[in-house]
């Protein structure tokens, strides 16, 4: 499968920047991104459940959580 030209250009730049270990670095970055997306999804599910249960908006819940820190 052919990559879009812009993506191919960025991949070449990444290879030059990280050298021989570029593929391992790319895999680690992708794994981190997957973890972030899963965490974001879990947070969204929590926010949806919590806001419905206590009748607060997501913004109000975030404000309360930030004030606890």
pLDDT at 34: 96
pLDDT at 66: 79
18 Cβ neighbours under 8 A, 6+ residues apart: 25, 26
**Whole-angstrom distance, CA of residue 64 vs CA of residue 69:** 9
**Whole-angstrom distance, CA of residue 68 vs CA of residue 66:** 5
pLDDT in tens, 2-54: 889 999 999 999 999 999 999 999 999 999 999 999 998 888 888 777 777 77
Please state the pTM of the whole predicted model.
Answer: 0.61
**Whole-angstrom distance, CA of residue 4 vs CA of residue 23:** 19
pLDDT at 68: 67
């Amino acid at each position: 499968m052919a990559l879009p030209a812009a993506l191919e250009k960025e991949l070449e730049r990444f290879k030059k920047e990280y050298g021989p270990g570029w593929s391992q670095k790319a895999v680690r970055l992708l794994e981190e991104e997957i973890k972030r997306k899963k965490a974001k999804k879990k947070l969204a599910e929590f926010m949806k459940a919590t806001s419905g249960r206590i009748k607060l908006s997501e913004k109000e819940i975030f404000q309360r959580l930030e004030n606890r820190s």
